[in-house]
Structures are given as structure tokens and as C-alpha cells.
Structure 1
Amino acid sequence: MAISKALADELERRRAVALAGGGEKKAEARHAEARMTARERLEALFSPGTFQEFGLHARHNTRHFGMESREIPGDGVITGTGFVDGRPVAAFSQDFTVSGGSLGEIHAKKICHTLDHAGKAGVPIIGFNDSGGARIQEGVGALSAYGQVFYRNVQLSGVVPQISVIAGPCAGGAAYSPALTDFTIMTREHAQMFICGPEVIRAVTGQATSMDEIGSAEVQASVAGNIHFIAEDDAHAVALVHRLLSFLPSNNMMDPPHRIEPELAIADDPVLDDLVPEDPKAPFDCRKVIERLADEGDFLEVMAEFAANIVIGFGRIGGIVVGFVANQPMVKAGALDIDASDKAARFVRFCNIFNIPLVTLVDVPGFLPGVHEERRGIIRHGAKMLFSYASSTVPKITVIMRKAYGGAYIAMCSQDMGADRVLAWPSAEIAVMGAEGAVNILYRKELSEAEDKRAKAKELAEEYRAEFASPYLSAGMLFVSDVIQPRQTRSAIALALRGLMSKRETRPPKKHGNIPL
């Protein structure tokens, strides 16, 4: 049966209203601030012509609230699926130009439908958050709607990658949905993320503060540790999503997008021999080592601004996607503190969930000493690293570059935490504690009798390193698989990874372990 012109015209009218969102003036206001509209963000995310929208004709439900019915195009959120670099991806984008992007029952139902689809289809989910919060006039219905979104975030956790982009306000309960996802990207300008704003804090506590102090991208990235990347603008945020997806599988049943060549190129890299100073106390940038190990130096650092004493991120070695975890000697001498432990532990768990092998680079003097750390629970937080590594079944390769002392040696994926290969450089020192501390304990008498105590301490420290901390001692006891020259590291890891791609490891049946949160 042919569709009448009246019906066709009505369809086009309705489509035009929905596609217009908040209207031309509001869209122009966004462009004046160098910001994209909600629909433009999705257009930038997906390959042209591949976006299929869910719920274009969704309508705001006002029947319970005695309000005059008004049209809210798409109920303030755009949802659907499309393709990113040839892979199917689901996404939603809140539209601040429509009722402030506020969340109500229908708005949330569209998001939930998209999340459900992502789970069933086994595809990543991307969420653009730009909302004034819960729709007050919908009362407890709006709160229930948030709960339904949170519930699905949790159900999808560990099933498909979830990426949130904070591109505008994300306040109160709304902030918990991004917090439940795997990665959060926040634009430097125009985005805010907080539970209680400055006015509420001032009213309740009497403390005067500003949005920059509690809700800015800089604070969330460097102080709170709630976000993983800062984007300069919407376009940069979309580019970061694309880059992140290039390292991730679509779901937990698939392998990451490896780029394995039939023939593995084996070659030494002499540059690595000179990157680490001979002085064990001299700092160096571990990222330079990572860049030499990663194919073409391609390394995507995650949470670069937070807990900078440990570096995490994605790269490839011999075409195989890996997650890097490395101590950073340039910050706190690479010691593990509470924030570094949390940062590394969650990243390790993410990699394990999505079948990404782990490469751990070690130069750690220990857990950070101090009253502040002890009182805040360094034991509990440090245990998260032990738990995360020990429960991971992906291929795990550890390279001990220099110091590996005490409990931090174990926490950085020693053989006892399930490392499949532990490689050490000749400069490695593996011991209960550093040479200077050990000398003060073990050789007090010799030091007290020496005329030149400083020279004697140095002499004894060298003896201690040779006798008790040598990598050959650990290799002789089979705690280290091999001692290699730094120049051989990339080839050694690439070969080990290639041989471990068929690794299978089962654990006792259980719901899940009880990580020390």
C-alpha cells in the first residue's frame, strides 16, 4: 500500500523537529563556544552514513505530574549504533540544548536500551555526558531512572568496554555513571564533574570554594583521579575515543586488535643500553624505555596527570597489544604510594578482563614510607596490586631494570605473583631493602670501627649489592628467567608474547574474589 502524502509529510515534520534538537539559535551558541552539539559529537564518532538511531521519536512523559504536555525532542538524548574504524559501537549523547539534557524516565530508558544492546551485541559503549542532572519535576521517577542506568553500567562491567566523555555538566548522582565505566575523558573547558557544587558545600559546611577547585578537568585528572584523559575540546575527545578503541577488543570474549605479522622481526636496540643511568639513584624517564619497546614508539598513556610515580598505558610489541605498568623514577623515586597502587591495580584488572597481556617495568625502592601513608591505609591499597596481579591470567612479563626492593618487588608482578617471564638487566638489584639501609643494619660494628665511615659504608654497600642483591643470585634461584642486556629487551618480550598467546589458566570456581577495597 502506498504511503499518503499526508503521512509522509507528518513523518518528515516529526523527524525535522527531533533532528533540530534545541533549535538553530542554541546550536549557534554552542558553535560560538567552539563546542559541538550532541548530534555532531556522534557524527564525529561514527563513520559517515553508519549511524542508526534508537528512539528518535521518544516523547517526554508528563501524565503523572499535572503539567502541560510540551515537546522535548528525543527527550534530551540521542542514542544508537554505528561503526568506528570498521567496528560496531553503541553510543548515547545527551543534548544540553533540549531541556538542559536533564534525565527523566524516557531519557534514561533510551540510554538503558542502548546499554542493553551493547551487552547483547558485545560491542563497546560510548557515552557523551552533558546534562543539568535529574529532571526535578519527575521526582523519584528520575532517581529510579538513574539507578537503572547505574545497574546496567555494573552489569556490563567486564563484558564490553565502557567509555565516558564528560563534555558539559555532570553533577550529583549523574557523576556516578561515568565513575562506573572503564575510561573517562573530560574536556578542559565547559565541563564540570562533582557531587556537591560550591554553593551546597558553602551552605552545609561553611567552606568557600570554586568550581575550579572541585569540578574542573585539571582537578579531576591530577588530584581526584576520577578521569583518565583531558581533551582540549570535543573533537579531541572523539579522537581520544578512537585511539583508545584501537587498543581494545569489542568484548571480553575477543582478543584485542593485534597486528601480528607472520614473521617476527628480531633485532637489538642499542639505544636502550644508554637510557638508564649507571648511578642507581639517578632518575630517568621510564616513558623513554616504553617508547623504545612499543612498536613505532606508539604509546597511549592513561591517567598521566594522576599518581605520576607510576606510568600505565597501551602499546604494541611485535604487533601484540599490551598494557604497560612502569615505575617512574622521576617522581617520588618510583616508590609505590596509595594513589599509585590504586591506579596500577585497576589498570591491571582492566587488562586482564579484556585479554590484554601485561608488561611490567620495575625500578622501585619500596612502598612510600610516612605517617600520612600509613594512617591512610597503604597496607590496604598496596594489597590491591598484589590481588590484581595474582588474579590475572593473561600473559605477564616483568622486566627488572634497576631496584626491586621489599614488598614492592612482589607487588610489581614478581614470579610469585604469576609472572610468566621475569627478565632482569645486569643493573637490577633484587633484595629485601636497599644497600645503604641494609649496611646500617647488618654492618653496624664495622661502620663504628671505621676511620672513614662514609668510605666504609660505600664499600660495604657495593659488597652487599654483589652478594645479596645481584640479579644472578635471583636467576640462580629461578626467581628470574634470564639476565639480558637492555638492548635485547624488545626482542625478548616479543618472543615471549608470541609464545604465550595460547596461554590458558583456570582458577577455582567462585563468584569473584574479595579485593581489599
Structure 2
Amino acid sequence: MSKDKIKDLVELRSRLYKGGGDAQIEKVHSQGKYTARERIGMFLDEDTFQEDFLMVQHRCSDFGMDKKDLPADGMVTGMGLVDGRSVFVASQDFTVNAGTMGEAGARKAQELMDAALKTGSPFVFINDSGGARVQEGVSALSGYGGIFYRNVLLSGVVPQISVIAGPCAGGAAYSPALTDFIIQVQREGQMYITGPKIIKEVTGEEVSLEQLGGVDAQAHYSGVVHFVAKSGPEALGLARRLLSFLPSNNSEEAPIMEESRNSSIGPDESFNFLVPDDPKVPYDMHEIIWRIVDNADFLEVQENFAKNIIVGFGRLNGRSVGIIANQPAFKAGVLDIDSSDKAARFIRFCNAFNIPLITLVDVPGFMPGVDQEYGGIIRHGAKLLFAYASATVPKFTVIIRKAYGGAYIGMCSKEMGADRVAAWPGAEIAVMGAEGAVSLLYGKEIKNAEDKAAETKKRLEEYRELFANPYVAAKRGYIHNVILPADTRSYLAASLEMYASKREIRPYKKHGLIPL
């Protein structure tokens, strides 16, 4: 091989690696942001990135595009390692024509997704784009369509993570919405379908880009975004941490952290003092979760949305688990439309990727109210029931305090397929709370009593003694055990080990994909 040919290749690569050039790179840096290749370098293990399709060029000749050179067509694609495991990653290059998506760049992303499907490796897409390349018209739209289609093919087969590190507008926002998890960078990333100018023209509403598509909008109100990061490096670190809890594909198990095996799973007396005796007094369910998982390492998903339920990943005795828990510190932990959707989606993901489920219950019921009924609480609540009942991974439930009415069933009761159900000794398992039940059952007696307060207290004590405790359910086999709070972690760890080989045969159904 001649030295000239080698020199030519080195020079070509050097030029293409600079994307839109030094001036554009400096402009990105001046905004506190990073280039596409810098982001990939932060995400992957050091020196493991191998770029594909570096020399791809667009073929558009309209609107003067034939005179434009767009290195790598504004899309950096390739493969590398995260903690030694293979991952495919695509990153939009804002230094090249504002990262707009054209036919060639879209085709690069599609081929990468095909490779992820063939090899059973996760796919990560870092979004930072001005949207579809207008000059390419329907070709750009076709490119997006091909990506959406592959998002669905990959769903439930390999994990898909989207990082919103810049604009992600219009139809482009639907690709992240079709992936499993979205990480958005504060102030730098925005997601929206219709921009502020069009909204003002159509509805007269005035709104800024950040108000419309920033983290407050998408992580707090809509629930579209699962994780919020303060910076680009933090977002990419979050993506790495998230992958550590997940298998590479749906035919594997999540990695086992050997250093956490058999460590500190004996009785923990601190559990005994976490929950107030009065069922109306709130407490933070995180305090229980942190004591259950190894090293208090809990990665919460959608932390800022539907806070009345907590979902996220942890490890127990080194094994990855998905945790779903009512949060008494917010809306008393009641189930409503948003919390039902949030939990159901998380359960379906864990089931698709062989991650056991732990459910911690302290729920007063489903949220009453006209808005909830009109909004479809029945339809949305049914999603939670369906998700739990259809999940075939190991399922363990611990009733911490309250489990009332349909919500007792909805939070993975034994009848919904839970493999082991335990309750703390102070748990109340009943059709409704004691106050409501006493008012309904003994209303006449209380009304006719000389001392109504004394009669009410008497009836409350009777009801709690007879019905609102875990022993009635235990006697009838509706729960497996009443356990000491201090034994919760060891009980769950032993359950996880015993059911690690669980196999469950279900009636044959037409094969399909796991719904989002």
C-alpha cells in the first residue's frame, strides 16, 4: 500500500471527524454543550468506539444542496462497549446542518438498529437535531418512518434508550417515545410536537421553548421523560448506570453483581420503626426501599411524575429487581390514572426483560372523583391489572400497611399471580378503611348511642380486630406469611433465590410485541 493512499485516508478521516468544522464546534462548546463524538466518548468504555458509515454522503440536489458537503450526513453511528458489554449508539451532529435528519443519516441509524436486533445488543440514540431536513422533503420523512418501524421491532427484544441532549421536535419526538427510557438534559434538551410559533398562530397561546418542551413539561406534567440530568455528561452516566441493571436482550438475565451476593441479608431492626401506627400518618416509602436493595442503590424511574407511586431498579443479593411501591407521602399512595399508567408500563418492561418484580403495598384504594372517572380511571387502572396478571417473571408482594378494596388486588395480590405475598403484622387488608366500613355497617347503632364517640371507637376496635388485619387473609391462604418488618430483606432475598428458575406456562396466544 502506498504511503500516499494511507495519508489520503488519514486526512479524509481527520476532516470528517470534525463534522461541521472548527467554527461550528466552537459554537457548540460556547453554549456549554458537546459534539456528537464527544458524547459517544463519554458514554462508551474508553477507546472502544468503532464508527460505521463515516463516509456516507447525502444525494439531495434541490435548493442548492448539491453544493453542500455534510460530513457523515450529520449522524454519527457505530458500536462499542459499556462495562464490557456490546452497545450500538447513534448520535446526531448539530455542527452539521444543525443535525437535521436526511435520507442518508436515517439509513445509517436504521442499519445500526438492524445490527442491534441481529446481535441482541442495546441501542442508544443521542438526539440533538433541528428536525427533518426540509430540502429533502418526503425522503426525510421516509427516513423517520423507517426508524419508528425499527423502534417497534426492537421493543421488548433489546433495551432502547434515548438521550435528549438538544432539540427533538415534531415527528422526531416519536422515536424517543417508542423507546424504553428517555433521559433529558436540563435547559439543553427540549421535546415537543408543535413549536411555540405554530401554537400561537393556531390557539393564541404564548409559550417558550423551555416551557413547552423542557424537563418541567415532559418529566413533571406529561411523564414522557423518565430521567432528568443536569448536564450532558450526567445524562450519559445515567444511561450507563441504567444499562447496568438490564440484560442485553430478552433471552438473557441481567448481570449479577457478585460483590453484593450474600451481604447483609440478616434481620434489620431499623425496619420496625419506619411506619407510623396511625394509618393516616404519611411516611416516605423510599426509606423502606433503600433498606431492601443492596447498598441502598435504587435507580428511580419517572421520579417527578405520578409521585404517588414509585418505580425503579435495584439489586437484591446481587440480582436486578424492579420495584413498584405506593408512596404514602404523596396523595396517601392512592392509585389514579397517571400512577396506573406509570406502573403498568414499568411492569411490562421488566417482564419483557426477565427482571423479577417486588411490590410494596400501602394503598387506600383507587382515586375517587368525577375527573378521574371522566378521564378513564377504569381503563387506565385495567392496564395495571393486565400488566401484573400477564407478567410471568418472579413476583413478590409485601403489604406494609394498608391494602384496601380493588387496590389490594391491583397491587399484585396472590390472585393476580404473585408467587409469594407477605404482610407486616400491622397491615390492614380489607374492602375499605375501618372508618368507612364502621360508618356503613354500624351507622344506626352509632346514631342511636348515647355516647356516639365511645360507640364509634368501640366499633372501630371490633372491626380492626375481626377484619382489618393480616391474620384473616393468612388463615384463608390469601397471603403466604405474616413476617416481622426486620425480616423483610432476608425474606425477599430468599424468595428471589428460590424463584430464580421460575417457569410458567400460559395459554397460547398469537405472537406479538410487548405493548408500550
Fold-level similarity (TM above 0.5): yes
Q: Does 1:376 align with 2:375?
A: yes
Q: Does 1:450 align with 2:444?
A: no
Q: Does 1:130 align with 2:119?
A: no
Aligned residue pairs: how many?
515
Q: CA deviation at 1:213?
A: 2.5
- 1:22–1:494 distance in 2 versus 1, CA, 3 Å: same
In structure 2, which of residues 236, 239, 242 is the aligned counterpart of residue 238 of structure 1? 236
1:97-112 aligned within 5 A:
97-112=95-110
Indicate the SS of the match to 1:333: helix
**Partners of 1:513 and 1:92 in 2: CA distance:** 27
Q: CA deviation at 1:262?
A: 6.9
Aligned to 2:139: 141
**Partners of 2:265 and 2:290 in 1: CA distance:** 17
**Partners of 1:299 and 1:90 in 2: CA distance:** 26
Asked whether the equivalents of residues 188 and 218 of structure 1 are also in contact (C-alpha less than 8 Å), the reply is no
In structure 1, which of residues 158, 177, 180 is the aligned counterpart of residue 178 of structure 2? 180
Asked whether the equivalents of residues 261 and 317 of structure 2 are also in contact (C-alpha less than 8 Å), the reply is no
Q: CA deviation at 1:516?
A: 10
Aligned to 1:398: 397
- 1:516–1:117 distance in 2 versus 1, CA, 3 Å: closer
Asked whether the equivalents of residues 383 and 516 of structure 1 are also in contact (C-alpha less than 8 Å), the reply is no
**Partners of 2:6 and 2:511 in 1: CA distance:** 54
Q: CA RMSD in A?
A: 1.6
Aligned to 1:29: 27
Q: CA deviation at 1:514?
A: 11
Q: Tell me, which stretches of 5 or more residues in structure 1 are unaligned?
A: none
Q: CA deviation at 1:515?
A: 9.8
Q: CA deviation at 1:179?
A: 0.2
**Partners of 1:143 and 1:262 in 2: CA distance:** 49
1:78-477 aligned within 5 A:
78-260=76-258, 266-477=265-476
Indicate the SS of the match to 1:68: helix
Q: CA deviation at 1:513?
A: 8.2
Indicate the SS of the match to 1:189: coil
**Partners of 2:13 and 2:514 in 1: CA distance:** 49
**Partners of 1:237 and 1:208 in 2: CA distance:** 30
- 1:306–1:512 distance in 2 versus 1, CA, 3 Å: farther
Once the two structures are superposed, what CA deviation does each residue of 1:335-384 show, in whole Å capped at 9, x if it has no partner?
Answer: 00100000000000000000000000000000011110000000000000
Q: CA deviation at 1:71?
A: 1.1
**Partners of 1:515 and 1:258 in 2: CA distance:** 25
- 1:410–1:322 distance in 2 versus 1, CA, 3 Å: same
Once the two structures are superposed, what CA deviation does each residue of 1:186-208 show, in whole Å capped at 9, x if it has no partner?
Answer: 00022110000111111112222
Q: Does 1:10 align with 2:8?
A: yes
Q: Which amino acid aligns with 1:197?
A: G
**Partners of 2:190 and 2:453 in 1: CA distance:** 54
Q: CA deviation at 1:33?
A: 2.3
Q: Which amino acid aligns with 1:357?
A: P
Aligned to 2:60: 62
Calculate the TM-score normalised by the size of structure 2: 0.97
**Partners of 2:135 and 2:33 in 1: CA distance:** 28
Asked whether the equivalents of residues 62 and 135 of structure 2 are also in contact (C-alpha less than 8 Å), the reply is no
Calculate the TM-score normalised by the size of structure 1: 0.97
Q: 57-66 vs 348-357, which deviates more?
A: 57-66
Q: 65-74 vs 403-412, which deviates more?
A: 65-74
Q: CA deviation at 1:265?
A: 5.6
Indicate the SS of the match to 2:67: coil
Q: CA deviation at 1:512?
A: 5.5
Q: Tell me, which stretches of 5 or more residues in structure 2 are unaligned?
A: none
